[in-house]
Structure 1
Amino acid sequence: MNSESPANNSAPDDETLALAHALFDAAREGNSAVLGSYLAAGVPATLTNAAGDSLLMLAAYHGHAGTVRLILDHGGDANVPNDRGQTPLAGAVFKGYTDVARELLAAGADPDAGTPSARAAAQMFARTDILDLLD
């Protein structure tokens, strides 16, 4: 007998998918008001999309330090890579977002995690201001 219920085997419904897409968009856009409401209501800060990008990864990669802090404050993990092995810190370094890098480092982000690591990205793109933070 299968111990899994049918609900556990089904794909999310259209309404759930639409909400998830709206949350990923809010993270990309730095819309902390919308995202904060849902996080406060219990949406997991560790939510990921089909590519493994977390809310934190999307906010970091798009340079939204305040939204990064919000997600971290609600349980986001600064060291979880996406499906390509990229971490939020490496994304912020790649894009040159020093303020986002500071937030992630303050939350314990490992500059040597991921592929490429944040340290390697900083060296590759001559982000000396961020390299100084990593040492």
Structure 2
Amino acid sequence: MNRRQQKKLARRLVMAVMFGEADEVDALLRAGADPDGRDADSTTPLYAASVHGATDMVRRLLAAGASPDAESGRGDQGTPLCGAACWGHTGTVRVLLDHGADPNLREDHGTGLTPLQWARNGPHPETVEVLLAAGARPQETTG
């Protein structure tokens, strides 16, 4: 598959995820769409699903090989776990953690906030508890 085709599939995959089109997501993944591909804004499908709390989409993408810690965007989005924690999508946070997402990974290439900081800023106490149980370090919430 050439680069142009991959870009087109990536764009379509991000859109299908955002609109909750599970059958289309499955079809695109079967057609060879990269679960870590990016649209024109550098958004990954997993980030789009995580921010919207689309837990089923998150499961599909992770099963297809999406990296749970891949940062999305050009410094203006972040990691899937940060996106889910920011909006208090506790079910999505659990699935990401179950698939190896790092509860202490700072967004913005290590210079931004942690998922725990986002959850506390929400405030989303249930999400905070899930992150702490998964090993999020409270001392990482300063700065």
Would the TM-score normalized by the shorter structure come out above 0.5? Answer: yes
How far apart are residue 35 of structure 1 and its match?
0.7
Aligned CA-pair RMSD: 2.0
Identity %: 27
Q: Match for 1:81 among 66, 71, 86?
A: 71
AA paired with 2:116? R
Residue 121 (str. 1) matches residue 118 (str. 2): yes
Equivalent residue for 1:103?
Answer: 95
Equivalent residue for 2:11?
Answer: 21
Equivalent residue for 1:4?
Answer: none
Change (3 A) 1:16 1:104: closer
Q: Determine the C-alpha separation between the residues in 2 that align with 1:38 and 1:118.
A: 29
Structure 2: runs of 5+ lacking an equivalent: 133-143
Q: What TM-score, normalized by structure 1, do the two folds share?
A: 0.81
Q: What TM-score, normalized by structure 2, do the two folds share?
A: 0.77
Q: Which 4+ residue blocks in structure 1 deviate beyond 4 angstroms?
A: 15-19
How far apart are residue 16 of structure 1 and its match?
6.5
Q: Determine the C-alpha separation between the residues in 2 that align with 1:16 and 1:42.
A: 8
Write the deviation string for residues 60-119 of structure 1: whole angstroms up to 9, x where unpaired.
Answer: 111110010000000001101122161001111111211111111111111221222211
Equivalent residue for 1:5?
Answer: none
Structure 1: runs of 5+ lacking an equivalent: 1-7
How far apart are residue 38 of structure 1 and its match?
1.5
Larger Rg belongs to: 1
- 8 Å contact kept, 2:9–2:33: no
Residue 91 (str. 1) matches residue 83 (str. 2): yes
Residue 130 (str. 1) matches residue 127 (str. 2): yes
How far apart are residue 22 of structure 1 and its match?
2.5
SS at match of 2:103: coil
**More moved, 69-78 vs 112-121:** 112-121
Change (3 A) 1:16 1:69: closer
Residue 64 (str. 1) matches residue 54 (str. 2): yes
